[in-house]
Amino acid sequence: MNHNRLLAYAHLLLASGYLIFTLVGPWAKRGEGYGVFSSDGGTGFGVVGFILAVILVILAIFRIIGRSEVVRGLGVEQLTLVVGVAAWLNLICFIVGWLPIFEYGEGRRRGVPGTGWGVVGAYFTVSQIPLLLSPLTLGIPSPSKGIKPLDDSKRQLFSLSTVICGAGLMIFPYLAWVTSGSIELSAFDGRNGNPTSGPRFGYLLFAIGVTLVIAGLMRLRPKGLAEPGPNLLLSHCLLGAAVLALTMPLGIVISCLQRSGLDIGIGTWLTLATCLVLISLPIMENRSRNAVGV
């Protein structure tokens, strides 16, 4: 049994553990434990976490049976790296962004909802998957065969679209993300002694947006921008950033639909649309370049 097959079984073990912890364990404690799909538990972030867990298990099975391509232009290892990081960030966003919105407890613990052991166990399993796959994806000494160069017109189109979407990720979090009656909360709002709190995702989205704008502008240059590795292209990095950003508005949308008294602000919808456009860009680029990966 070679090391790649051992890594594939380790991937399956960790992905299965993440799925089990996500489904079985409580996500939030407010006097009692609430599960992944509960409106007082995982809510939308639990739904996103479950979907990502299923994808990670399927990708592990693909690796074990020797399938290297998920769809045309997207390899198993690259997609696993993208989904693994997104699954990790989804849990972080749930803990630091969604839970603080709700009041719970008395005295010193007021406003600090408890995190269930399901989230804790899921975090420690899913956080290992990107670490497991990164050396394999980035360390292959020779590039995959058949990856085509991107012509200048397409490169400029994809780069300009990336810059526009990156600017959207910087601007839209300032708009209303969550509304409750007459109260509108942006993605930058925190509690800071106020009984109401926004999801506080704006800082991360702003950082992702700045990175995309800089990368897009650099890629617009005549010589473009160097690829990060022989099997990890700029389009794979863009897909990773897009999926990372998507977990936040998608989790908010599902959560607000589950709870009464909270409505979805225009900023959330605009950010969600921007993320969907961002995801379509690397998929189209990968297909045009036949960038299967490892």
**Residue 56 burial (CB count, 10 A):** 26
* Angle at 129 (CA atoms; ends 239, 127), nearest 5 degrees: 95
Q: Grade residue 108 by pLDDT with cuts at 50, 70 and 90.
A: very low
Q: Grade residue 81 by pLDDT with cuts at 50, 70 and 90.
A: confident
pLDDT of residue 292: 62
**Whole-number mean pLDDT of the chain?**
83
In a domain, 71, yes or no: yes
pLDDT of residue 258: 85
pLDDT of residue 79: 86
When mean pLDDT is compared over 103-117, 119-133, 225-239, the highest value belongs to: 119-133
- Domain limits at 118? 3-289
Q: Grade residue 165 by pLDDT with cuts at 50, 70 and 90.
A: very high
Q: Is the pLDDT of residue 161 over 90?
A: yes
In a domain, 85, yes or no: yes
In a domain, 11, yes or no: yes
Domain count for the chain:
1
In a domain, 69, yes or no: yes
pLDDT of residue 106: 46
In a domain, 212, yes or no: yes
Q: Across residues 181-209, what is the average pLDDT?
A: 79
In a domain, 9, yes or no: yes
In a domain, 294, yes or no: no
Buried b (16+ CB within 10 A) or exposed e, 97-133: bbbbbeebeeeeeebebbbbebbebbbebbbbbbebb
Q: Is the pLDDT of residue 87 over 50?
A: yes
pLDDT of residue 138: 59
Percent of the chain scored above 90 by pLDDT? 38
pLDDT digit string (tens) for 259-279?
Answer: 877 889 999 999 999 999 999
Q: Across residues 83-90, what is the average pLDDT?
A: 93
In a domain, 123, yes or no: yes
Q: Across residues 105-128, what is the average pLDDT?
A: 74
pTM for the structure as a whole: 0.86
pLDDT of residue 168: 95
Q: Across residues 277-282, what is the average pLDDT?
A: 93
